Structure formats: C-alpha cells, structure tokens
A and B are shown apart, each in its own frame.
Chain A
Amino acid sequence: MAMKKLVPLPRKVERREVRREDKALVAANIDKAIEKELLERLKKGTYGDVYNFPQATFDKVLSKEGVESDEEEDAEGEEEEEEELEEELEKEFVADFAESDEEADIEDYGADSSDSDTESAAAAAAARPAPSRTKRPRVEIEYEYDGPSTSKVKS
C-alpha cells in the first residue's frame, strides 16, 4: 500500500487564496469574455455557413415579434425564442437543401420540386403559429370539449 503524504496548508495562505480567487473572478468578467471570443470566431468564419445572418431575415424576425416583446421575452421565454430561432434556421437549412437538390437532379425535377414545396410549406406552417404563440399578452379564448364534464361551466 502506498504511503500517503499529508501536505499541510497554512491557514493564512488558504484565506489569501480564496480572497484572491474571488477578486480574480470579478475582474475576469467571464461571460463577456466568452461572448467576445465566440463573436470573434463567428466573424472569422470558423463556423462556416452554419449561421447565416443576412440582414433581411433578421429584420423579418424583428418585425414579426416586435422589438419590445423580444426584450421581454429575453428574461422569461428564452427557450421559446431558441426554438423559434431554431425553426427559422432549420427552415433556411431545409430550403437550401431543397434548392441544391433541385439543381443536382434534373431528371427528378418534378419529384424534387413537389418535395421542396411541401417541405417549405410545412416549415412555413410551423413557423407561422410560432409568432402568434409569443404574443402572450393577448387573451385567447379556447373552447375545449370535455366528455364527462367534471368542472362547473361558467357561462
């Protein structure tokens, strides 16, 4: 069995190190540093074409939601926005794929065009309920049909 060596840790040193670590953490501003680094990488192009932010789509997204609701959502509904953005991106992705397919196979032109149409239609349909979903403040009246009514129905 190996003998374990106990290394003493002087108390003052411990305290000093902990304090310095806290101060270093404050000075580090880690989140900002990470953001900066990631944005730099985006600019340099290390992500390739995964993210395309042509100004047009960005403006479209803004106009759909409205800038204010976007800020509100930042605090609470980050996930929703994520999903929406993902759908948006996916929509572009899917569209790109469809286009490239179209160009490649001229023989299957008929089949591909119909496929791409259905795909883009499906994506558009998926994207359309998304913005209405985020407009939460408006009250929606839902009528549900329950089989055996267990709760009192208020007219």
Chain B
Amino acid sequence: MAPRSKPKPGEPSSSDAATPLLPERCIDHKNKNIRKEKWRELRLQKNKEKREARKKRQKVREELGKDAPPVLQPHTIETLRIPDVTTVQPDDLETQQADRLDEFGGYFGREAAPRVLLTAGDFPSPKTRDFMKELALVIPNTEVRLRNFSSVKKTARVAAAKGYTDLIFINEDKSKKVMANGLLHVHLPDGPSALYRLSNVKLSAEMRRIKEFTHHRPEVVLNNFTTMLGHRVGRMLASLFHFDPEFKGRRVMTLHNQRDYIFFRHHRYEFKNEKKCALRELGPRFTLKLRSLQKGTFDSKTGEYEWIRKRHEMEDSRRKFHL
C-alpha cells in the first residue's frame, strides 16, 4: 500500500469528504503487540470495504452501461491541491480591467514592441554565454551585452533610457560547476522585477534534432497560470515576446506552470489533421521557479516586494501552490 500522508488533526482528510476524522487515533495502545494487531485489523477491514465498494461500482457500471456514473479519478497532487482564494476566473471583469491598467497594458494594447536586453554577471562562463546566445535567437528582438561591472539598478536605468522594454540577468553559481542558476527579469521602465531560480537548462546543441531556427515571430502558450500572482507572472513573461505572432513560422514558445515550476519549451508544430498535431522540439529548454516579485526595478534594500517565497510559511503543505 503506498504511503499516504496521514491527515493532521483539523485538516480535512484526504479520503471521501463525507467521513469525519478517522478513528485511527483511538487505536493507539501502549503495548506494541496489541497496537500492531489493532492496526492490522483496521487495515484489513479498510481493504475489505474498498474491495466491496469497487465490486459494487463495477456491477453498477455493467448494469447501466452508458448511463453509469463516471469512473472515479485517482487522486493526484493537482486534484488535491488546496484551492487558492485568488484563482482567476476566465471571464473576470475585474481582472480584465486591472490588466488594461497595469504595466503590461501597454504591451498587450500593442503600443510598443518589446526590446530585450540580456546580460549576465561579470565574467560569464562559456556555457552561460552559449545559453545567452541561444536565448537571443529564441526571444525576438534581443541583444546580448556584457555587463561592465555596473550594478543592476544602473543597468536598468541606462537600458530604460535607451528604449529597452525588458532586462534579463542571468545569474551564475561559480562555486559549483553548474552554470546559470538564476534569472532576473526586470520590466522597464519601472516595471516589476521577477527573480527566478533557473534550472535544468538544456541547449539546442544537446537536442538530438536538427536546429531550424527561423526568424518568424513565435506564438506563446501559457499553461496553468491560475492564481492572481500566476496571471501576473504569466503576462510578464508573455510581454517578452512580440505580440503579433507570425503563424507562418509555426513556432511556439510554451511556458507551462506545474506545481509552481514554469517549464519553458520551444517547438515547431505542424498540424497533421484536425485532431493531431506534431511537435518538434528546438531550442533551449529550462525551468524557472519564482523566488520573488518586486514592484519597481530590482532593489534589494529599499524595494517593495509584492511576493516573496517564504519557505517556512508557504511550503508547510505539499498541496499548496502559488502560481
């Protein structure tokens, strides 16, 4: 039997919603042998009940055929996720209004085309440099520059003055051989700054397939950004790409959020027919995990944080996700 986390007292148990707190606490006995026996009996009884319920359900399904109630779905982390209060409903007028007024309203209203400046730490390692080159190919309208020891704030100011809309920093951890492990995305001017943990970077050179980078503007797919925070982050990442995709190029960038990890993928797609679509992966792939979101440009001392990942508060439950 796979181990399932026992429900804490007070938390709703993960079994059917109807049953009250399980009587497991009543079985604790000081004598270990007796305790063992009692637990064993309880387990056998539970299994028996399960089996009988299953037989009943199968019988009902056979009898009713098509009218039978749908098959019960197994529990997954996604189904057991603690529902977030700030989940965005698709037709929410309030969010739509807020979207028009926030920093990305301009982008989504097609006012300005994004121009991205990509830079790294002081002496980026060759792997990081390769990664930056690839990112520059993948995100349209990107330039790679070396950071001449200037601070983040200064770079942001200069970039904003020169007309860039976004600034991306790639942070490296040189003590270990692992390359880039952090990504800071600053939306200019005065836009929010998002600090991500970067991992699992795979360059297109390591992909088995032939590279087919075209210069068509890609499509963007954002998956699973459900909460308010997720929605905001999703829009922020989407604003990196040009708003008018060229469907002829058949390129798609995917930012897929799963359990607070944002997976970035770059594919070429082709519709074989109305029901099937073939994908071929190109380009780099990496994973982002949001660490913090700041209101203005990056400022570690006086900045106003919209959201920080506070491990001890936010990650006490394995069923709770924020994006």
Q: Do A and B come from one complex?
A: yes
Question: In the complex, what distance in Å separates the CA atom of A154 from the CA atom of B94?
Answer: 80
CB proximity of B223 to chain A, nearest CB, Å? 5
Determine which of B151, B247, B265 lies in contact with A34 in the assembled complex, contact meaning CB atoms within 8 Å: B265
Instruction: Note all chain A residues with C-beta closer than 8 A to B259.
Output: 20, 23-24, 27
Closest to A85 in B: B270
Interface residues of B in 129-154 (CB under 8 A from A): 149-152
24 contacts between A and B (CB under 8 A): A1-B149, A2-B149, A17-B197, A17-B289, A21-B199, A27-B76, A28-B256, A31-B279, A33-B254, A34-B221, A34-B254, A34-B269, A35-B277, A37-B221, A37-B254, A38-B269, A38-B277, A43-B274, A47-B247, A48-B247, A50-B247, A51-B271, A82-B270, A85-B272
Contact A38 B221 (CB under 8 A): yes
Binary interface encoding of chain A residues 63-107 relative to chain B, with 1 for a CB under 8 A from any of its CBs, else 0: 000000000001000100010010000000000000000000000
Range for the number of chain A residues in contact with chain B: 20 to 34
B77 contacts the other chain (Cβ, under 8 Å)? yes
Question: In the complex, what distance in Å separates the CA atom of A43 from the CA atom of B275?
Answer: 10
Instruction: Note all chain A residues with C-beta closer than 8 A to B194.
Output: none
Question: In the complex, what distance in Å separates the CA atom of A93 from the CA atom of B261?
Answer: 41
Instruction: Note all chain A residues with C-beta closer than 8 A to B287.
Output: 21, 25
A138 contacts the other chain (Cβ, under 8 Å)? no
Binary interface encoding of chain B residues 245-271 relative to chain A, with 1 for a CB under 8 A from any of its CBs, else 0: 001100010101011110101010111
Contact A33 B271 (CB under 8 A): no
Instruction: Note all chain A residues with C-beta closer than 8 A to B270.
Output: 82, 85
Q: Given A21-B200, A34-B265, A85-B270, decide whether A78 and B256 contact each other with a Cβ distance below 8 A.
A: no
Contact A33 B277 (CB under 8 A): no
B66 contacts the other chain (Cβ, under 8 Å)? no
Contact B258 A42 (CB under 8 A): no
Range for the number of chain B residues in contact with chain A: 35 or more
Determine which of A23, A25, A37, A51 lies in contact with B263 in the assembled complex, contact meaning CB atoms within 8 Å: A25
Instruction: Note all chain B residues with C-beta closer than 8 A to A143.
Output: none
Instruction: Note all chain B residues with C-beta closer than 8 A to A37.
Output: 221, 223, 254
Determine which of B254, B256, B271 lies in contact with A42 in the assembled complex, contact meaning CB atoms within 8 Å: B271
Closest to B270 in A: A82
Instruction: Note all chain A residues with C-beta closer than 8 A to B80.
Output: none
Contact A38 B311 (CB under 8 A): no
Question: In the complex, what distance in Å separates the CA atom of A108 from the CA atom of B151?
Answer: 66
Measured CB to CB, the residues of B under 8 A from A are 76-78, 149-152, 197, 199-200, 221, 223-224, 247-248, 252, 254, 256, 258-261, 263, 265, 267, 269-280, 287, 289, 300, 311
Instruction: Note all chain B residues with C-beta closer than 8 A to A111.
Output: none
Instruction: Note all chain B residues with C-beta closer than 8 A to A50.
Output: 247-248
Contact B199 A33 (CB under 8 A): no
Q: Given A24-B258, A33-B223, A50-B248, decide whether A78 and B289 contact each other with a Cβ distance below 8 A.
A: no
Instruction: Note all chain A residues with C-beta closer than 8 A to B200.
Output: 21
Question: In the complex, what distance in Å separates the CA atom of A18 from the CA atom of B223?
Answer: 21
Contact A58 B273 (CB under 8 A): yes
Closest to A53 in B: B274
Determine which of A2, A21, A25, A58 lies in contact with B289 in the assembled complex, contact meaning CB atoms within 8 Å: A21
